[in-house]
A and B are shown apart, each in its own frame.
Chain A
Amino acid sequence: MTQELRIVPTDRPPADGKARKVADFRPSLMLGEHGLCPGCGEPVALRILLETLQDLGIVNNSIGVVGHGCYGSFVRIMDVDVLQCLHGRAPSCATGIKRMRPQTAVFTMQGDGDMVNEGLQEVLHTAARGENVTAILLNNGVFGDTGGQQTATTVLGQRTKTSIEGRDPGLHGHPIPVADLVASLDGVGYVARGAVGTAGSIARTKRMIRAAFESQLAGEGFSLVEILTMCPTGWFVGAPQGPDYLAESMEQVFPLGDLRARPKPSGAGA
């Protein structure tokens, strides 16, 4: 058991001239450190969002609308034009931006407390109007920024600061699957639900974000990508157990995948 570990030095790039860098620490659009907890899933979601903007070449032509939550601190470190709105009002502000600047790629970044508790009507009306914007929902099932209270997406039985015995449907009601609600509306181009628990799900979620922006650029209507993120602090689990807890609790209630695929092109070809 006491096997000698053969540690490889990792404090500097390999001196071997044949080494080829395949991935930077972070995208150049991320300017510095976020101050979020160990094991948080939201910085991962931010990274794949920024990488998607770069991959699509729309960085200089995009405006983000950010709500209130832990991710609100990202406005300091994301090198994209950003407007920060009142709680839950990001889809409405995005509507105004998109109508005045129709050539701009407009996206919102909101948490579950922001979108589903504080601004549920904003996102539903924006979707039903068919506004051509992309909403990114970072769903961790708790109000992380204010200390881990229960939100409208907290799954049944989950312990939070305000449902310390677990969410009880008789007392607290049932979780609201907002992505499914939006997917059922007309005027919606694309809805999907991803997660950032494993490397595979992160790669799939990145493709969903790309599809959502492509849907917006093609003028197909409202697009929403719900991203299930870990909040080990709010869930009372250790940081390494975050992805397992995500898979065992949230992914059972909120299944991953495309909830509304992009409309098929009328002609032949993709």
Chain B
Amino acid sequence: MINALPERELFAPGHTACAGCAAPMVARTILKVGGPDTIVCNATGCMEVFTTPYPRTSWEVPWIHSAFENAAAVASGVDRALKKLGTRDNTNLVVLGGDGGTFDIGFGALSGALERGHKFTYVCYDNEAYMNTGIQRSGATPKYANTTTTPAGKKIHGKSEFTKQLPFIVAAHGAYVATANIAFLQDFANKLKKSFAFNGPSYIQVFAPCPTGWYHPTDQTVEIAKLAFKTNVFPLYEIENGVLTLNRKPPQQVPVEDYLLKQGRFKHLTKEEIAEIQQHVNSDWERLVKLEESKLKIF
């Protein structure tokens, strides 16, 4: 299936990502689909650090980074500048940020840019915490996960809250929204293609495990990403013109325990906590199935 992607590599090797990091797969796929007529606006984060240690760079397309919370605003400026220069139609404009830069600190700038309707593809590579600064909790961190700011202590057992439902918040702005997973790159590529053709803002949230922050073996990144799909922890769906479609359903749902216990960040979980997570995953999944069946225009 992956053979269907262009052979040309525009994301150069030699970067300094951790072994087993999913983020380079995200960048590589974006550039394979986007091709040389792509401009990338990157938020501060692992991706920016490991790809651009001056004077080296992994980016064979124009790439700009300035701050943590402003990537969508920078892209707004690039979008309108290209329009002014008369080159807007030919260029795929990609905004790239981690979940911290997207869910939390960059949320205002993202919302503003979505509301203004800039044509760009915002890709959030979601590794469920602020990994670059040392595994601090973000709005995307799942409940009970052990992070450096939500340690699994004797009194408080990891993070106390469930994840912010950002794809739905983005969809409420009228954007094309999709979730993707590094274990299913063709699906991600299809969604990127769709977003580049969409005449408005798009948002793709890609599930991207982080061995360093999730405490799993570096050769298990794709396996864990697959399990996130099989357990319905991270479902694959699109919200297009306000209507939700589940792109792919696991033939048989695997218990969340199989996913959780492969990761050190969940090793402290009690049976009750695992049961609570299972219940939450089930109820989210049922909601998605119902929404799809209803064909309701949610937004």
A, B co-complexed: no
Residues of chain B at the chain A interface (Cβ within 8 Å)? none
